[in-house]
Amino acid sequence: MKKLLTRLLGVALAIGMCLGAVSCSNTSDKTENNGSDGSFKVGAIYINSQNDTSGYTFAHHNGITKAMDSLGMSTKDDLFIVDNVPEDDEKVKAAIDTLAGKGCNIIFGISFGYINAFDEAAKEYPDIIFSHATGYLSNDTNFNNYFGRIYQARYLAGIAAGYKSVELGNNNVGYVSAWGTEYAETCSGINAFTLGVQSVNPDATVHVYELQTWGDNEKERQAAQILIDTYDCCVIAQHCDSAQPQLVAAEKGVFGCGYNSDMSVDAPDAHLTAPVWNWNVYYQLAIETAKNTPADFMSKVGNYYGGLSEGFVDISPLSDKVPAAASTAIDTAREYMVNGKWDVFSGVALTFDANGACTSEDKALKTNDGQEIVAAGGASVDDGVITGSMNYFVEGVVQEQ
């Protein structure tokens, strides 16, 4: 009984912390849907605000609400969110306790740094399903991770950037990244984007500015300014949470490839395209399975890793600032990846000419210090490398910070 009272006091304290420190709420910007009986509740923990209008948190929030709409669930009554939660185990645990107290049957955590708190919570709350984005831990019953082949979309965005760099006669492309080789997630994205750029412009250099944080609007802005002012970058790509690099690109009269969501609204004068997530593809699968057959969640959903072929990742529509040939080239590369004919990190390099026509050649994939990763003609590196152990940059990448 003493243990139970302690646990209840902890939950009450967590709720108080939530209300006092971060936003803990139902969504209020969606109308209630018909057909929900209120017996299944969804919880979500966000790194930034649910009210963001672009970027990482926006993309996840849009995916969850879109999935619930499709399933006839009420986002007003059946979705509970704790937002603005930093990557701090105690604060994440408090958010989890709050959502557990609300009766949530599945809880999504969208930031990598939530991983340890989710791992522990899955043991403490065996009747709740915990689903963690971008991580690598899981168990056999109620804890999975989910991510996707965003590197494929980054390659396509790289093609667009490559054509723009050729059109401008400028071989310098910039990349604002939360991290560099410390995380395979960021490293593989930088590499894939670079290979896409070089498929059009083999003389291009991708200058990477590492922020060493996942979300800091001011640092994202400063990094983009440095890449443009110091390294003469004509296109700014990004792997960070906000649209700040794209806003800077517009202010400086250069161009950009955003991330997470279509950022043409944020920077219409700069926007070329953006690698985007269709998170609703996963969220609908996860919520529907957790609701209907929770005992089979791990066998039916498991650790999810979708790509172009599942419609989970793609790029936003090309703007009219992208040279016309890019569309043809991107369609070809997309088809190759969807059909399984080719993938980015293999020993086969694609080359696109001024008209978008494609040729391929066996070519070793090498690091930027000359070490061979894949022999010429070799198959793509394993998924485990892309998601876990890719800690090198390919030829053409220069880390500036």
CATH number for position 225: 3.40.50.2300
- Residue 214's pLDDT band, with cuts at 50, 70 and 90, is confident
- DSSP β-ladder status, 304-306 and 143-148: parallel
pLDDT for res 24: 58
- Residue 25's pLDDT band, with cuts at 50, 70 and 90, is low
- DSSP β-ladder status, 129-133 and 143-148: parallel
Asked whether residue 187 falls in the same domain as residue 262, the answer is: yes
pLDDT for res 37: 66
Asked whether residue 106 falls in the same domain as residue 173, the answer is: no
pLDDT for res 215: 78
| Spatial CA neighbour of 31 closest among 65, 81, 55 | 65
- The per-residue pLDDT for range 329-366, each reduced to its tens digit, is 999 999 999 999 999 999 999 999 999 999 999 999 99
- The per-residue pLDDT for range 145-165, each reduced to its tens digit, is 999 999 999 999 999 999 999
Q: Indicate the number of domains in the chain.
A: 2
- Residue 30's pLDDT band, with cuts at 50, 70 and 90, is very low
Asked whether residue 85 falls in the same domain as residue 177, the answer is: no
Q: What is the DSSP letter of 388?
A: I
Pick the residue with more confidence: 55 or 246? 246
| Spatial CA neighbour of 350 closest among 237, 198, 206 | 198
Average pLDDT score, the chain: 92
- Residue 26's pLDDT band, with cuts at 50, 70 and 90, is low
Among 35-39, 211-215, 237-241, 313-317, the least confident range: 35-39
Is 145 within 8 Å of 132 (Cβ atoms)? yes
> What are the CA-CA distances from residue 254 to residues 5, 142, 246, 265 (Å)?
60, 47, 9, 16
Asked whether residue 231 falls in the same domain as residue 287, the answer is: no
- The per-residue pLDDT for range 161-178, each reduced to its tens digit, is 999 999 999 999 999 999
- Token pair in block for residue 138: 């899981």
Residue 15 has pLDDT above 50, yes or no: no
Q: What is the DSSP letter of 31?
A: P
Name the maximum alpha-carbon separation found in the chain. Answer: 74
- Residue 38's pLDDT band, with cuts at 50, 70 and 90, is confident
Residue 34 has pLDDT above 60, yes or no: no
pLDDT for res 10: 44
- Token pair in block for residue 267: 């920077």
Helices (H) and strands (E) in the chain, counts: 12, 19
Residue 352 host element (H or E):
strand 348-352
- Enclosing domain of residue 21: 2-148+278-310
What does the pLDDT average to over 178-205? 97
Is 190 within 8 Å of 180 (Cβ atoms)? yes
- Residue 36's pLDDT band, with cuts at 50, 70 and 90, is low
Domain C-terminal end among 310, 331, 355: 310
> What are the CA-CA distances from residue 209 to residues 111, 174, 181 (Å)?
21, 8, 12
Q: Token match 């440095």: residue?
A: 226
Asked whether residue 384 falls in the same domain as residue 329, the answer is: yes
Residues above pLDDT 90, as percent of the chain? 86
Is 155 within 8 Å of 344 (Cβ atoms)? yes
Asked whether residue 28 falls in the same domain as residue 61, the answer is: yes
Asked whether residue 68 falls in the same domain as residue 79, the answer is: yes
Asked whether residue 225 falls in the same domain as residue 372, the answer is: yes
Asked whether residue 58 falls in the same domain as residue 196, the answer is: no
Residue type, 118: F
| Spatial CA neighbour of 308 closest among 331, 325, 284, 285 | 331
Domain C-terminal end among 265, 287, 310: 310
- Residue 203's pLDDT band, with cuts at 50, 70 and 90, is very high
- DSSP β-ladder status, 129-133 and 313-315: unpaired
Asked whether residue 296 falls in the same domain as residue 330, the answer is: no
Domain C-terminal end among 256, 290, 310: 310
What does the pLDDT average to over 216-238? 97
- Residue 8's pLDDT band, with cuts at 50, 70 and 90, is very low
Asked whether residue 144 falls in the same domain as residue 163, the answer is: no
Residue 275 host element (H or E):
strand 275-277
Residue type, 30: K
What does the pLDDT average to over 292-297? 97
Q: Token match 């003389």: residue?
A: 203
pLDDT for res 241: 85
Asked whether residue 197 falls in the same domain as residue 329, the answer is: yes
